[in-house]
Amino acid sequence: MDLKLKGRKAIVTGATRGIGLRIARQLSDEVWVVAREGQAVATDAPVARDPAEGLGPLAGIAAGLRAVRAERAFVTACDAPLLEPRFAEALHRLSLGRAGAIPRSEGHLVPTSAVYTTALAPVAEALLAAGRRRPRDLVERADLRVVEAAELRTVDPELHSLFDCDTPEAYREALRLAGL
């Protein structure tokens, strides 16, 4: 299956190896890992450094967008083990002509599973410098297309790509959903 992702970039926020990095490599030929400054990283992927602890996902997104050489990047968190490549491709396609595309599921925007133009890096950095740490602050300032869950269900019917796996219970559920 040709997902037309060659030449596109992926950023994995908060991961150094494991499921997030493995999934990102299925999406793109160039993957960046974002890690906090000073954090030990065991990866063969290039690493962009998040400047300080406690700045949240916006700092990771900013660092990743600053590192990427392409015009747009798909950003995913390390705890999204069921990410469907068609989900990322759909967001990329839907982002064209805008500063990016961000899914909304159950009334919530999902900034760590979105496509952003790299031109947003300085916007995110300025927000951080002003003490604004929420990814929502970036969303409010950028011309992002909000993609409703219903539209993404055409490529990921159960929205498994948005499954957050950050507890032992969620990990067991991810294994079940994956049929393992």
Nearest C-alpha neighbor of 115 from the set 95, 134, 98: 95
Which pair of structure tokens corresponds to residue 90? 């759909």
pLDDT at 136 over 60: yes
Predicted pLDDT at 18: 57
pLDDT at 153 over 90: yes
Predicted pLDDT at 171: 84
CATH architecture of 9-177: Alpha-Beta Complex (3.90)
Percentages of the chain per state (helix, strand, coil), in multiples of 5: 35, 20, 40
30: DSSP letter: E
SS3 (DSSP) at 32? strand
Going by C-beta distance under 8 Å and a sequence separation of 6 or more, which residues neighbour residue 139?
102, 109, 111
pLDDT at 149 over 90: yes
Which residue matches tokens 């790509």?
A: 161
* Other residues' Cβ atoms within 10 Å of the Cβ of residue 115: 28
Predicted pLDDT at 16: 46
Given a contact cutoff of 8 angstroms between Cβ atoms, the answer to whether 33 and 43 are in contact is yes
* 72-77 and 108-109 beta bridge pairing: unpaired
Q: How far, in Å, are 39, 60, 93 from residue 63 at the CA level?
A: 14, 5, 23
